[in-house]
Amino acid sequence: MNNLGEKLFELRKAKNLSQEEVADKLGVTRQSVSKWETNQSTPDFDKIVPLCELFEISTDELLIGKREDKKEIKEVIEWCDEKGHSEHEILELIRRIVDAKPRAEDKA
């Protein structure tokens, strides 16, 4: 994703939310959400944290594209624990996840 508007659109679609639903949750109009997604305007500062909470991402991920792996790693740990994997096996899977992710410095 190249810009904030595209990111907001993709995040909304991934959550299966309408613009109206996002607007209601944030206390703005549907037109505001539409303008954000089409880069005609940007969310006010006081909407950044609620947007991140709604889409379950960090502010870094929303604003600069830095991905947080914490949620994915937590899910892997829980899955491995359920399957009875050892701590060594869990750490190996986490290492593979982290190594497979492109890093910001690799993109530059």
Domain ranges in the chain? 4-64, 70-107
pLDDT (0 to 100) of residue 68: 56
Please determine, for residue 23, whether its predicted confidence score (pLDDT) is greater than 60: yes
pTM attached to this predicted model:
0.61
Q: Which of 10-24, 40-54, 63-77, 93-107 has the lowest mean pLDDT?
A: 93-107
Helices 4-14, 30-37: axis angle to 10 degrees equals 120
CATH topology of domain 4-64: 434 Repressor (Amino-terminal Domain) (1.10.260)
Q: What pLDDT is recorded for position 70?
A: 63
**pLDDT at residue 105, rounded to an integer:** 45
User: In Å, how far from its chain's centre is CA 105?
Assistant: 19
Average pLDDT for residues 50-76, to the nearest whole number? Answer: 79
- Distance (Å, rounded) from C-alpha 66 to C-alpha 62? 8
Model pLDDT for residues 6-18, shown as the tens digit of each residue: 999 999 999 999 9
